[in-house]
Chain A
Amino acid sequence: MTTPTRTLPPAVRISLSSLRAHKRRFAGTFLAVFLGVAFLAGTLVMGDTLRNSFDTMFGEATSGTDAVVRSADAITTPGESQGVRRPVPTDLVKTVERVPGVAAAAPDIQGAGQLIAADGDPIGGQGPPTLAGNWITDPRLNPYQLAEGRAPLRSGEVVVNRGTAKKGGLGIGDTTILRTPDPVKVTIVGLATFAGEDGMAQVTFTGMMRADAEKYLPARPGEAASILVRAGPGVGQRELVDRLAAVLPKGVEAVTGQESAEENTEMISSQFLTVFTLFLLVFSGVAILVATFSIHNTFAIVVAQRTRENALLRALGASRRQVTSATLVEATAVAVTASAVGLAGGIAIAAGLQALFPAIGFPFPEGDLVISLLSMLLPLAVGIVVCLGSALLPAVRAGRTAPLAALRETAVDRSGTSPLRAVTGAGLGALALAMTLTGVLVSPSLWLAGLGAVLALAAFVVLGPIASTTVVRVLGGPLGRLRGVTGDLAGRNALRSPKRTAATASALMIGVAVVSLFTVFGASLKATMDQTVSRSFAGDVAVSTPSFGAGGSGLSPALAPAVARLPEVAYAVGLGRGVAEVDGKGRALTVTDPVTLGKVFDLGDVRGSLSDLGTDGIAITEPEADRRGLEPGDTTRLTFTDGRQQTFKVRAVYGRSELAGEYVITREAWAPHRTQDSDTLIAVSFKDGVSTSAGKAAVAQVAARYGDPEVQTRDEFAESSAGGIDMMLTLVYALLALAVLIALLGIANTLTLAIHERTRELGLLRAVGQTRAQLRAMVRWESILVAAFGTIGGLALGGFLGWVLVKASDGASDSTFAFALPPTQLVIVALVGVTAGALAGLRPARRAARLDVLRAIATE
């Protein structure tokens, strides 16, 4: 203990000097940890920042609203976070205004309203709501502020939020159409901002005169979604709410402005942010899982390469613990540095995205990044735990090095193909198969199927080394014939350490498996849509809003009758959407003409009759009826948003619910309770002898008068129903590129280490006449073989998991899911995997070819 460095424990000293000496070896590990941690940290920081931004935005926009008066009950249907509330009468404003302490009150009349852009296409409607409402004249109650122009003063004048105007190429003075869903001609007189931004995210808003809003937006005149109230000086929000509550009729409540803002933020968070963040977190999980394999592999190889060194240490008297901890200290150093840098990288990513968002037209309030303690600690902890965990086994193995190992030379490592592994793997595989098959086919259970899927992954990893031997042999055979001894050597090198090959390939396998899982699932969903349409849709053309339910303004209820009057048309039926509580649970209702519905849709077996539902009859789909034990003739009780209850008689039970929905009632039955009147889909079948194109043209002509929604043939309809899937897949692929990148780094790193290990052999090959080109080809082919193995495994696993997911979804829901394997896409995935392997091999191959022959031969 004389020199300062001696104060460090020997294990630390050894590992730190080893790190310094072999920086290159850990570059791959460092990158893998870095990327995983950065992605995770970026996701968390961005999620928090977005959530905070929305909070601020709503807080600011609604800061002038001290209380909101609205209906007390909301009906929430499954799959929707925002409940449907019954409107309140606008007359209530007068009552509210008389309450002492109220400075101003205004009705908030809301409805769907989609503007038509300058080029004739509707703006938005692909997700975020397209809203229309009355332009509230009290600037402090109005969440939107006038930025340019003036407020609407005459009927037909509107203010739109600036983002919408920009997107639609519209400006002050322009005249366009607003679909409410009936087309209303409007002139833009002002542009508005929301909390200083061009809009509330991607939501489009059109503000009109109160009289216009009352005329076009609500189902019945004289109703508003809510009443916004501003308190006079010295009156607190709570106090105001208490005073309001005293005068409000039954079924109407008042909440503070703050509560209302929080609810809105919460709604956006749960509907959009939570899903978004969760989605990204899943992908960071995949990336980190892939990284785990790469890291483990690096340490395993480094330990193997250092056998002699460790043996020497052991021979000189180092204890097992000292050798083990030397490796662990090394891992810790890499883990801590890479995680810390990764955290910084993640924050940088979030900052970059924050800067990028406005550029892609997504208004994003400026503000500091929100970096919570969790988003600092979690990625760090995950990075360190994953890195240390991956290094643990190799470290223990390092400690077990026998002192005599220094003298042995093991050239070909056959470990990893033991019978025990084969038995364990086969057992796991059989168990996985049994569980998934039971979960999928015998007694449908997502849990069982999911557990089986996880076991299948484990079985793949355990069987990897054995499978790698077989697969590489099979692939290597033709390669040897094709590329001669170079191909032969590449194959044999890939076979050298089945465990290492398998671990390297596993990383890629997982990436490819997730890619193919989504590919298969996406294709299956499309096939399902296609099948649904071709099975249930007996009509010739469909008129639909851009996406089911959510966006757009819907279709005018007058369109279906107008189409039905065409001479070409045999039947035309409009489907509207309503909500009600059925036995206390929110349910979506299909509001339509049931008789025509049965003509244009194939509803399967119908028990009872659809022809006389009347105002108190309901039709229910078979599975739902079975679940609730209902038969034709039974009764069920519905509660509507207006709080009224009504008993309906089940007059029909039909077999297929896919397009028709679970509950069907007549327009007449819905009329007293309706909220907004619009159809989401109109199905049309033509008279015999009318060609599809002629009929389509006739329908389109009528539709032009009702806001010009798109008229689609059956095929087009099926295709557009599945349109969102491709978009989702593109996003998924982009995110998975990261996992694949980490896997490639792993392959490149393993190859580099293997080349280092084989220096002498490479020198020998070069000495006896292997050209540089041949050597490069040899390394590249090895890389391709490993990648091919990973890709094949990934395709098989992903295909299987895709099948499980489809079948399990099929079992878990009423609608039938079709399973489809898209050959083209899967071939592309395979090609990408193998090409990626070739790319991963480029650098190691170049480095190997640069070896100095003499020095290589002399290497110990």
Chain B
Amino acid sequence: MTTATTTTRTAAAARVVDAVKVYGGGDTAVRALDGVSVDFPAGRFTAIMGPSGSGKSTLMHCAAGLDSLTSGAAFIGDTELGSLDDRRLTLLRRDRIGFVFQAFNLVPTLTVDENITLPIDLAGARGDKDWIDALVDVVGLRDRLHHRPAELSGGQQQRVAVARAFAGRPDVVFADEPTGNLDSRSGGEVLGLLGRAVRHMDRTVVMVTHDPVAAAHADQVLFLADGRLVDRMESPTADKVLDRLKAFEVPS
């Protein structure tokens, strides 16, 4: 990593360089990531796609500090994750990353309100009240703030998760199949929220999905196969993504 390359890439909110991730060892070793280098530019909505086992979730987990690389490096901003111990990684996730998982995003004992501010509360910080207020209005949950997750529909729960992910104004929000458990209408709402956050609020989102319709909400789509970055598509549409995915299946 030379200084020159770093400066040219200040626009990246997160990136991985020569990322290799091997699970297991010996004969049963699996190369989930096989030398991936990719930038997730700030202020952009990036979708990662690929068939199951392509390594798309592993890529996201490693980029987000939930998992460590076997070799190569992962950065959030200028911070190299491999050099951080568990505590620092945790603090980094708390302060600079937002998460939206496929399911079970919320702590059942906390109210909607408390779930949204959870990372901020864990930091013992005050948070930006106006920003959170605005977020609550954007996700449309003002009348549900004091409800518990069990009293919300799946779509509402994911909207709370989105609000939580952006509450601390993180450098980047990682979304792992955020619509995987939702019907198309609720899914559409959640994707709309992610898109709006990027376009109107200048946020950065990285989303793993297998759904071309979801991927179409992104600014760019990265295609992974067998642990390698195989293609990239700007301004995707559902049809174009679907065609591209079909193209994968023919050679493989």
**Residues on A facing B (Cβ under 8 Å):** 410-412, 484-486, 488-489, 492-493, 495-496, 760-761, 764-774, 853-854, 857
Contact = CB atoms under 8 A, between A and B. Distances in A.
A486 B123 CA distance: 10
25 contacts: A410-B150, A411-B109, A412-B108, A412-B148, A412-B150, A484-B121, A486-B122, A488-B114, A489-B109, A492-B110, A760-B104, A764-B104, A765-B107, A765-B118, A765-B122, A768-B93, A768-B122, A769-B93, A769-B122, A771-B94, A771-B122, A773-B87, A853-B66, A857-B66, A857-B104
Contact of A772 (B87, B94, B107, B110): B87
Given A485-B122, A774-B122, A854-B66, A767 B148 contact: no
B93 A767 contact: yes
A485 B104 contact: no
Given A772-B87, A854-B67, 10 more contacts: A484-B121, A485-B121, A485-B122, A764-B101, A765-B107, A768-B93, A768-B119, A769-B119, A772-B86, A857-B101
A769 B67 contact: no
Given A411-B149, A496-B109, A767 B124 contact: no
A854 B148 CA distance: 25
Contacts, number: 79
Contact of A412 (B86, B109, B114, B118): B109
- Which of B91, B114, B122 has the most chain A CB within a 10 Å cutoff? B122
A344 B17 CA distance: 62
B90 A771 contact: yes
A760 B104 CA distance: 8
B186 interface: no
B228 interface: no
Contacts of A853: 66
Nearest to B105: A764
B14 to A, nearest CB: 16
A464 to B, nearest CB: 20
Interface string B79-123: 000000011001101110001010011111110001000110111
Contacts of B99: 767-768
Contact of B150 (A411, A489, A769, A770): A411
A768 B109 contact: no
B56 interface: no
Report the interface size class on chain B: 20 to 34
B31 interface: no
A340 to B, nearest CB: 41
A761 B108 contact: yes
B89 to A, nearest CB: 9
- Which of A493, A760, A769 has the most chain B CB within a 10 Å cutoff? A769
Contact of A766 (B90, B95, B108, B109): B90
A647 B167 CA distance: 98
Given A485-B121, A771-B91, A772-B87, A764 B107 contact: yes
A770 B109 contact: no
B144 interface: no
B57 to A, nearest CB: 9
B217 interface: no
B164 interface: yes
B33 to A, nearest CB: 14
A432 B103 CA distance: 49
Nearest to B118: A768
A576 B139 CA distance: 92
Q: Which 3 A-B pairs have the closest CB atoms?
A: A769-B94, A411-B108, A492-B109
Interface string B38-68: 0000000000000000000000010000110
B117 to A, nearest CB: 8
B122 A767 contact: no
A767 B90 CA distance: 7
A495 B109 CA distance: 9
